[in-house]
């Protein structure tokens, strides 16, 4: 695999140029490019530059509004809603997360529902930002049918990621962010591009037969992680990020989609909680001791440790040349 070394500033610029050429205004392009750059910085490769051809395709097809003007309003003191104006999610986050944090600090808990948005990124930027403001946060989005519910051989669930973040006063937030599919679709696509098999149990081919060939899984379906238990979490996400917030579940998001290769229109659920208010001020000592014991166990590594380690490296990143060619072609 041939690669080129690019600085984080160059990565931002490549993303920004591609999005602008595909029709996004500066504010929308910068918000997405920043998310893409941070994904590459942290080593979230399947949600960095890899996503630019899809982002560009949906701007060019007119499905996504490159001039989106997402707007926040409060339905109640703790139920905030953002109309994404059919744009990409990062600008909605940029505009709304601060108000969500304020509402949670004031009331102990607050929920942000985002509708008419297109989410094509990792979820950790949203939950991590809230935990940096002293809150614990949970977020999820659905996608398009790609995962067969446990027991079925037909996709209905999206790859439906779930992210959780916990604030640590003397350390960066504890964060996990994971697809509820056995493997994120982005990673299956990268394995197909690089001609690598994936582990048995990742997915099934079109006939419902187990396979390790990523291209067959893309034509067929992924499996949920953790059997029936992971399947139920994927089901919960369909309901939280769809009907609960006033948006569609994955099957209906796909029916409305134009198939341009970018993300479908859907919703996002973000819950923010103040440990200070909910615990009556005693949360820090308990959580510190718990996390100390967890981290001290042989064989355990805390989620986000890998990302934070990558983040400390300020040097250039190795980017796949075939991907760079694809990005140049996609924004022409
Ligand atoms: P991974 O399986 O790579 O990681 C899931 C979580 O577990 C991460 O927090 C990771 O931390 C942690 N982790 C990984 N390996 C270990 C280990 N050995 N021990 C302890 N913790 C570990 O993530 P996925 O492949 O499932 O998801 C990748 C990304 O795809 C996510 O960011 C998700 O948001 C995104 N996605 C987005 C979708 C969308 O619709 N927008 C749909 C599906 C996925 P660390 O990061 O430090 O490795
Ligand atoms: O990797 O499954 C995935 C995914 C879907 C939408 C964005 N990422």
Phi-psi region of 226 (alpha: psi -120 to 50; beta: other; left: phi over 0): left
Atom 2 (ligand 2) nearest CA: 185
- How far is Cα 28 from Cα 16, in angstroms, rounded to an integer? 9
Beta bridge partners of 115: 83
What would the 3-class secondary structure string for the chain be?
CCEEEECHHHHHHHHHHHHHHCCCCHHHHHHHHHHHHHHHHHCCHHHCHHHHHHHHHHHHCCCCCCCCCCEEEECCCCEEEEEEEEEEHHHHHHHHHHHHHHHHHHHCEEEEEEEEEECCCCCHHHHHHHHHCCCEEEEEECCCCCECCCCCCCCCECCCCEEEEEEECCEEEEEEEECCECCCHHHHHHHHHCCCCCCCCCEECCCCCEECCHHHHHHCEECECCHHHHHHHHHHHHHHHCHHHCCCCHHHHHHHCCCCCCCCCEEEEEEEECHHHHCCCCHHHHHHHHHHHHHHCCCCCCCCHHHHHHHHCCCCEEEEHHHHHHHHHHCC
| 228 burial type by CB count under 10 A (0-12 exposed, 13-18 middle, 19+ buried) | exposed
Q: What's residue 225's pLDDT?
A: 98
Q: What's residue 158's pLDDT?
A: 98
Q: How far is the CA of 320 from the centre of ligand 1 (A)?
A: 21
Place of tokens 């440790």: 305
Q: What's residue 101's pLDDT?
A: 98
Instruction: Name the residue among 139, 143, 136 with its Cα closest to residue 123.
Output: 139
Whether 184 lines ligand 1, by a CB cut-off of 6 Å, is: yes
Instruction: Name the residue among 276, 273, 284 with its Cα closest to residue 101.
Output: 273
Angle between helices 305-312 and 26-42 (to 10 degrees): 100
Atom 3 (ligand 1) nearest CA: 178
Atom 21 (ligand 1) nearest CA: 303
Q: What's residue 330's pLDDT?
A: 87
- How far is Cα 114 from Cα 80, in angstroms, rounded to an integer? 9
Instruction: List per-residue pLDDT tens for the chain, 332 residues long.
Output: 799 999 999 999 999 999 999 999 999 999 999 999 999 999 999 999 999 999 999 999 999 999 999 999 999 999 999 999 999 999 999 999 999 999 999 999 999 999 999 999 999 999 999 999 999 999 999 999 999 999 999 999 999 999 999 999 999 999 999 999 999 999 999 999 999 999 999 999 999 999 999 999 999 999 999 999 999 999 999 999 999 999 999 999 999 999 999 999 999 999 999 999 999 999 999 999 999 999 999 999 999 999 999 999 999 999 999 999 999 998 76
Give 227's Cβ-side CA count (13 Å radius): 0
Catalytic position from the list 45, 47, 118, 119? 47
- How far is Cα 329 from Cα 125, in angstroms, rounded to an integer? 28
Domains in the chain, CATH or no CATH each? 3-181+224-293+301-330 (3.30.1370.60)
Q: What's residue 332's pLDDT?
A: 63
Residue 83 a catalytic site member: no
The phi and psi torsions of 138 (rounded to 5 degrees) equal -135, 135
Q: What's residue 1's pLDDT?
A: 79
| Ligand approaching nearest to the C-alpha of 35 | 1
Q: How far is the CA of 264 from the centre of ligand 2 (A)?
A: 11
- How far is Cα 160 from Cα 325, in angstroms, rounded to an integer? 29
Two tokens at 26? 């500066």
Angle between helices 26-42 and 8-21 (to 10 degrees): 140
- Residue 107's CB is within 10 A of a number of other CB atoms, namely 15
Whether 177 lines ligand 1, by a CB cut-off of 6 Å, is: yes
| 122 burial type by CB count under 10 A (0-12 exposed, 13-18 middle, 19+ buried) | buried
Catalytic position from the list 187, 250, 257, 274? 187
């Amino acid at each position: 695999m041939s690669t080129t070394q690019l600085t984080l500033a160059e990565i931002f610029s490549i993303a920004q140029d591609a999005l602008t050429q595909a029709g996004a205004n500066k504010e929308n392009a910068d918000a997405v490019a920043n998310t893409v750059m941070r994904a590459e910085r942290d080593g979230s490769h399947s949600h960095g530059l890899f996503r630019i051809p899809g982002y560009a395709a949906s701007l060019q097809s007119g499905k996504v509004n490159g001039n989106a003007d997402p707007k926040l309003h409060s339905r109640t003191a703790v139920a905030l809603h953002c109309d994404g104006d059919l744009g990409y999610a990062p600008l909605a986050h940029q505009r709304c997360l601060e108000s969500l944090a304020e509402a949670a600090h004031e009331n102990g808990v607050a929920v942000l529902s985002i509708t008419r948005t297109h989410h094509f990124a990792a979820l950790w930027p949203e939950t991590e930002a809230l935990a940096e403001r002293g809150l614990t946060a949970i977020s999820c989005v659905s996608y398009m049918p790609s995962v067969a519910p446990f027991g079925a051989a037909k996709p209905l669930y999206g790859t439906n990621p779930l992210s959780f973040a916990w604030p640590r006063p003397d350390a960066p937030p504890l964060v996990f962010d994971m697809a509820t599919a056995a493997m994120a679709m982005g990673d299956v696509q990268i394995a197909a591009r690089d001609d690598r098999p994936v582990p048995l149990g990742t997915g099934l081919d079109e006939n419902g037969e187990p396979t390790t060939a990523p291209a067959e899984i893309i034509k067929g379906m992924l499996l949920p992680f953790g059997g029936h238990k992971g399947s139920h979490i994927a089901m919960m996400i369909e309901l939280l990020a769809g009907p609960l917030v006033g948006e569609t579940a994955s099957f209906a998001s796909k029916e409305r989609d134009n198939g341009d290769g970018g993300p479908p229109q859907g919703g996002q659920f973000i819950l923010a909680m103040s440990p200070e208010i909910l615990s009556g001020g005693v949360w820090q000592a308990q959580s510190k001791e718990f996390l100390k014991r967890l981290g001290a166990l042989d064989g355990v590594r805390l989620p986000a440790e890998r990302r934070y380690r990558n983040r400390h490296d300020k040097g250039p990143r190795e980017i796949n040349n075939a991907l760079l060619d694809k990005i140049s072609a996609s924004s022409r």
